[in-house]
Amino acid sequence: MPSARNTGSVELPLGSAAVESGVLRLSAAASQGARPAAGAGPGPGEVAIPGPGRYGWGDAMLDVTVSGGEPEAGAGALPAALGAIQVDGARAPFPWLLRTVRPGDRFRPGGGREKKVSDLLIDARVPRSLRPALVLLEDARGALFFVEGLRPGEAARGALRPAISVQVCRSRRELDPSQDGLSPVKRAGSPRASMHPHRPDEEQR
């Protein structure tokens, strides 16, 4: 019979580990990378966005409004307002889900190729320390159309009818439109924080 010393279990951040008869077994958490079932509502740390309004999420405030008029040409690109985009309500239908990055997430920035979100964030040089708190928006069909720090998805290109405006404001950091990705930025009027250049060997994909 196996000794009690050869059994036991412990919960880990991404799952659990158990020793049974001297054999180590690792199990991933059931929620990792899984979308909640339809009608189950948002999961922990997620916010349901049923329509226009103002939504708080950590240090971020999300303003969602519907434009009554015709959008300007190119309105889907990042305008002067930091973290602001316009998307087509028909291609990004409500209700939305505001959440963070999940393992296995894929996204296609407007005009680009679909890739893993993790790879896109590396390419955009988004600091690893900021990635767990990035804003992602998922539409009613479960498709990502906005990843903070990346170019907006296809729902922000072409004709926008109706045009839905989304603006992300943060109390401690903001999108820096002079960069492809996120950069730590001090408050308005202060110089931007410096960043070390990215090296190809600094992170494994």
- Point out the least confidently predicted range of 5-9, 109-113, 142-146, 191-195: 191-195
> Looking at the domain assignment, is residue 178 inside a domain?
no
Please tell me which of 16-20, 32-36, 178-182 the model is most confident about, judged by mean pLDDT: 16-20
Q: Are 170 and 60 in contact (CB under 8 A)?
A: yes
201 located within any domain? no
Q: Is the predicted pLDDT of residue 113 greater than 90, yes or no?
A: yes
Amino acid symbol at 56: G
Residue 150 domain-assigned (yes or no): yes
| 15: in domain | no
What digits encode the pLDDT tens for the residues 118-163? 999 999 999 999 999 899 999 999 999 999 999 999 999 999 989 9
Which one has a higher pLDDT value, 53 or 17?
Answer: 53
| pTM greater than 0.75 | no
Tokens (6 digits) for 32: 């990792």
Whether the pLDDT of residue 170 is over 50: the answer is: yes
Q: Which residue has the tokens 């308005």?
A: 188
Domain of residue 146: give its range. Answer: 47-170
Rg (CA), the chain: 20
Specify if 126 maps to a domain: yes
60 within a domain of the structure (yes/no): yes
pLDDT in tens, 39-74: 567 877 899 999 999 999 888 899 999 985 444 444
* Within-domain flag for 156: yes
Total domains present in the chain: 1
Asked if the structure places residue 13 within a domain, the reply is: no
